[in-house]
Structure formats: C-alpha cells, structure tokens
Amino acid sequence: MKEKIDYGKMILDELKSGGADHAAVTVYEGSSKYFKIFDNQVDSAVEINSSGASIFTVKDKRVMFTNIERLEEQPIKAAVADALARAQMLSQKDYYFGLAEGPFKYGKAPGNDDKIIGRDYDVEDLTSGMINAALANGAEKVHGMFNVNYGKTRLLTTGNVDVQEEGTSAKCSIRVFTQSNTSAQNAQVSRKLSGIDFEQLGKETASLARMSSNRGSIENGTYDLIYMPIAAGNLLSIYGSFATIGSVEAGLSSLVGKLGKKVANPSISIYDDATISDGIQSYVFDDEGTPSQRTTIVKDGILKTYLHNASTAKKYKTKSTGNAGLLAPSTSTPVFEHKKKYPSIEPLIRDTRKGILITNVWYTRFSNYLTGAFSTMPRDVAFYIEDGEIRFAINMGMKGSASTGIRINDDFQRMLENTTATAGTAVQAKGWDASTAVVTPSLFVKDVKVTAASFK
C-alpha cells in the first residue's frame, strides 16, 4: 500500500498531462500538541492532526493554489482538473517568471527529536520542573503553554525537484505573576525537547518578575531602552517580514526604496537564516525546492537585499534567497547581530543613565508601514533605570494591576540607527503574538519616546 507521501508524483504527473506550465506539489502530514498551563498545573491538551496535499499550478501565467484531502486516484484526478479549470478563469500575473529549476544539492538536515516523533515524553514531569522552580523563586501564579510539533513533507515540482523533509520542534512559554503584582513572561524553543531547560525557564522568569520590590511612576519623555530578547524579537519578527519583496511591493514595509541605503546603525547586520541547526523555522528546501541559505539582509547598516523566491528574483534580476513562499516569499529566522556586545545586561544597566528595561512587548501596530512608525506596549514588568541602577518597577496602570501603564513610540529607521549596543547571548526568542522566532540578544536603543496614559 502506498504511503500518503508517495502520492506526490501521481499528482504532479496529472498536472503535467493536464497542461500546467509550472507546478509544485507538497504532500504533508503532521501533528501538533498544545498543553495549556493554568494556575500552576497543566489544564488541557489540544491535539491537531493534519494530512493532505497542496497544489500550486500556473497555466499561461495564471496562478492557482488548491488542496487535495483524499489521496486516492479519483479525488486526485478531480482536484487537478478543477485546479486547471479554475486557473483559466483568472487574469494573468504579468510578473510571474516560473519556479526554481533543479535538480539541487541540499545541505545537511537540521536535527530532529525521536522523543517527539515517538511521543516519548511525560508532560507533567517536564512542566512541573518549570512550575515548581517558578513557585520556589517567588511566583504566585504560573501560566503557560507547552507545545510539540512533528511534520513530514515531500515536494515535487516541474523544476526537477523531488525532495523530502521531516521536522520536529518544541516550545514552552511561561508567564508568572507575583504577590506584589508584577508579571514576567519568557519562552524557550528548540527542535528537541533536550534544548529546553524547563527549570531554568521557571526560575529565571520568576526572578525577573521580582528584580525590584520598589514601585514607581515616570514622566512622558525620552528614555534609553533595553529590550530583552522576547521584546526585541517581537519587533524584529516584523522587520523580517518587511524585508520580503511581497511586503515591499504591497507598500506594507518601511524598506520600500531603501535598497543600498542606510537603514540601521553601521554596527548592525541582520540576516535571514534557514540553516540554523536548532532553528525551529529552519528547513532544507523552500516551498519550490531551492536549498535553504543564510541571507544577509542588512550589512553594516546598509540594506543589501529583499527576500525572494525564484520568480520575484527574476523580476528584479537577482537570485532567489531560498525564501519561497510560492505566492510571496516569507522569512525563515531573522538573526540580529551588533558589533558592540556587552556580555550580559548587568554591565549595560550600569552604563545606562536614564532608561527602562523592557522585558516583553505586545500589540505592536503601525500608523504607517512605509515610514515604519509604530507604537508597542510593554506587556510585563518594566524597570526604571537611573545612574546605572534599577530604581523601581514602573507601575502606572489601574490600582492593583500588574500593568506598567506606559507605551513605546518609535519608527524602525530611527530605532535601528539608535541601537548602539547589544547585551547577552543571542537566543531564539518567540513571544505570544510574534509571527516568527528571531535570534537576538538584548538591544540597547537610545532616546525612545515613552508616553503614559493621559486623557489627551
């Protein structure tokens, strides 16, 4: 009996004989599990199992996506006929220039975890280590999510690609609340369960929430900000998407028209890296079979390239960066590097005269994508720093709440030009509402406008 993953060739042959000019078929199967942690224990288990095939087909520059659920001969024939008929209804995509042409040589696959594939783990044992470490370090309430994923895909294209890949990943997030009304959130991600240190995660997050027992208020004004990795990652995951050519063409990017121009401090380089060995977004090949790569987006502050698939690369007379997305390119893992590095945040705090340590942000929204002007909300505890010392946790929200009561207002150009240093080891950071994980240390950004709630 055929494995599901073996139906790809049948689908591709059917597309070719139906007259498709270009086609890519992805056959997939996978499962995800989400264990929610609520009030210091696991509360629920959600399991998602999916399988099927997706079809990308182009006929006379008419671009159509569809799916096939039932991998059997007749449903495949019907779905392919339907896809090709629907493609004929569309108008042409003038700037479509074809799929990547293989065959390709691929690099080493990133590592996977047999324990995740074989479901050989005890959720209570793993998460209780984190929860107990947080409680032992001053947390009153611990919430979070432990998530494991497994997926297998086979990709076949009319560009001489026939390649398979398996992937595993794990993520554990934690949010703690203390009796003195502060909160902190963090997460660890890895391709393997052994890459997550559950106890360390619990201990460090609880300790962060309790870094200062003092509470205080600040005035509206400009402050030097230290964004810890989860906070920096929230912003940089958006910056990564701004580098994709699809965002640029749609006017949904602050990098429009900036190729070859200064977009950041000269000490900064930003990469998109699909080859990180423990990267949860790493892959061997992109959606059209181009081998994965590390792409330099910004080098020494200058924008070097947008992220492309084969078709958009041809349009702009450049090379694919291995970021297909067939309809539009997408990021793998943005990586942030800075020449000025403090070994940890403590010496950076000592060098800060008037600043704020931002531990987490959410709800980053743009008033204008083209200018990159945004505001974002510190979600968890934020500490006011004066003359090299943490003075107090900012607490200007409703009485009795953990809310800081402040908002950060900036734009990407200014922010990156004013990012003058980093601190600590770069980690894969992934906050709740960040679209991708980002490899980043803590960032030091000078002179950022911070506002507090008012009735104006």
Question: Which positions from 148 through 187 interact with other proteins, judged by CB under 8 A?
Answer: 173-175, 177, 183, 185
Total Cβ atoms within 10 A of residue 204: 18
Helix (H), strand (E) counts: the chain: 10, 21
451 contributes a contact to other proteins by CB under 8 A: yes
48 contributes a contact to other proteins by CB under 8 A: yes
Write the Ramachandran bin of 5: left for phi over 0, alpha for psi from -120 to 50, otherwise beta. Answer: alpha
Binder of other proteins out of 13, 66, 98, 262 (CB under 8 A): 66
135 contributes a contact to other proteins by CB under 8 A: no
Binder of other proteins out of 46, 81, 194, 257 (CB under 8 A): 46
What's the closest the beta carbon of residue 350 comes to other proteins, in angstroms?
A: 29
Q: What is the rounded distance in angstroms from the CA atom of residue 257 to the CA atom of residue 215?
A: 45
What does the block give as tokens for 148?
Answer: 């494991």
What's the closest the beta carbon of residue 275 comes to other proteins, in angstroms?
A: 25
Closer by beta carbon to other proteins, 92 or else 179: 92
397 contributes a contact to other proteins by CB under 8 A: yes
- Residue with the two structure tokens 């950076």: 348
238-263: burial string, b at 16+ Cβ within 10 Å, e else:
bbbbbbbbbbbbeeebbbbebeeeeb
219 contributes a contact to other proteins by CB under 8 A: no
Closer by beta carbon to other proteins, 213 or else 220: 220
Total Cβ atoms within 10 A of residue 41: 12
Closer by beta carbon to other proteins, 179 or else 277: 179
What does the block give as tokens for 334?
Answer: 């943005």
What's the closest the beta carbon of residue 156 comes to other proteins, in angstroms?
A: 19
Q: How many residues bind other proteins (CB under 8 A)?
A: 92
74 contributes a contact to other proteins by CB under 8 A: no
The footprint of other proteins on residues 102-131 (CB under 8 A) is: 119, 123-124
Q: What is the rounded distance in angstroms from the CA atom of residue 303 to the CA atom of residue 298?
A: 4
SS3 of 67, please?
strand
244 contributes a contact to other proteins by CB under 8 A: no
Give the DSSP letter string of 328-380: S---S-EEEEES-EESSHHHHHHT-SEEEEE--EEEEEEEETTTTEEEEEE-S
What does the block give as tokens for 86?
Answer: 């629907």
Find the part of the chain contacting other proteins (CB under 8 A) among 49-57, 161-169, 190-198, 441-449: 49-57
Binder of other proteins out of 1, 44, 74, 317 (CB under 8 A): 44
What's the closest the beta carbon of residue 123 comes to other proteins, in angstroms?
A: 6
455 contributes a contact to other proteins by CB under 8 A: yes
The footprint of other proteins on residues 365-384 (CB under 8 A) is: 365-371, 373-380
Closer by beta carbon to other proteins, 77 or else 341: 77
Query: H or E segment at 245?
Result: helix 245-249
The footprint of other proteins on residues 308-347 (CB under 8 A) is: 327-328
Q: What is the rounded distance in angstroms from the CA atom of residue 329 to the CA atom of residue 370?
A: 19
Binder of other proteins out of 3, 9, 19, 92 (CB under 8 A): 92
Q: What is the rounded distance in angstroms from the CA atom of residue 286 to the CA atom of residue 329?
A: 9
Binder of other proteins out of 38, 103, 213, 350 (CB under 8 A): 38
Closer by beta carbon to other proteins, 147 or else 292: 147
Residue type, 189: V
Binder of other proteins out of 3, 6, 95, 179 (CB under 8 A): 95
Find the part of the chain contacting other proteins (CB under 8 A) among 42-50, 196-204, 271-279, 384-392: 42-50
- Residue with the two structure tokens 């902190």: 184
Write the Ramachandran bin of 52: left for phi over 0, alpha for psi from -120 to 50, otherwise beta. Answer: left
- Residue with the two structure tokens 């150009």: 413
